[in-house]
């Protein structure tokens, strides 16, 4: 109820300010005989409020998606690689070697279908050593290129 009352008061205040603005612009137009459509319509308080909200919304969404791409996606991909690694260790205990590719590990499990790609929706690189006792999982990272600084890697190469 309080919100409704406040909303009505704000709307009346904004309408009042728009009316005062129109009156002021009309006086200027009568005084010097020049039409001022830009000032009359685009510089009225309600238009300025709408434009401000749009600009703030656009900037906020840009910042949110940038933050997500820079901060959240790498954390999510690292977590997903750790889950894949855990599943691979279970696989090795069961079968004696690591799976030859990720599709073999994932199988038909609908919960693990997202393991095919990282948070940027790019496929992982996956390799197993010839003896099947070590593996390497690599995400290309935010730039989408392998063998760069932002790659996210997890390996279990065993040197003998």
CB-hemisphere CA count at 13 Å for 111? 3
What percent of the residues of the chain are helix, what percent strand, and what percent coil, each to the nearest 5?
A: 60, 10, 30
In this structure, what token pair is assigned to residue 75? 């954390």
Spatial separation of the C-alpha atoms in residues 81 and 139, rounded to whole Å? 9
Q: How far apart are CA 64 and CA 92, in angstroms?
A: 40
Q: Say whether pLDDT at 55 is over 90.
A: yes
Q: What integer pLDDT is reported at residue 52 of this predicted model?
A: 92
Residues 124-144, mean pLDDT to the nearest whole number: 86
Give mean pLDDT, residues 7-11.
86
What is the location of CATH 3.30.700.10 in the chain?
74-155
The topology (CATH level 3) of 74-155 is: Glycoprotein, Type 4 Pilin (3.30.700)
- 56-71 in b/e burial notation, b at 16+ Cβ within 10 A? eeeeeeeeeeeeeeee
């Amino acid at each position: 109820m309080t919100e409704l009352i406040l909303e009505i008061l704000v709307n009346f205040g904004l309408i009042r300010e728009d009316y005062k603005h129109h009156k002021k612009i009309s006086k200027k137009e009568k005084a010097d005989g020049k039409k001022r459509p830009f000032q009359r319509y685009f510089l009225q308080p309600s238009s300025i409020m709408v434009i401000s909200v749009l600009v703030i919304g656009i900037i906020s969404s840009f910042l949110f998606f940038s933050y997500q791409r820079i901060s959240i996606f790498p954390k999510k991909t690292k977590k997903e690689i750790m889950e894949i690694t855990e599943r691979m260790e279970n696989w090795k205990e069961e079968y004696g070697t690591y799976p030859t590719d990720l599709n073999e590990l994932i199988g038909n499990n609908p919960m693990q279908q997202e393991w095919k790609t990282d948070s940027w929706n790019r496929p992982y690189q996956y390799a197993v050593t010839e003896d099947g006792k070590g593996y390497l999982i690599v995400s290309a990272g935010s730039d989408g290129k392998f063998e760069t600084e932002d790659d996210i890697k997890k390996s279990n190469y065993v040197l003998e």
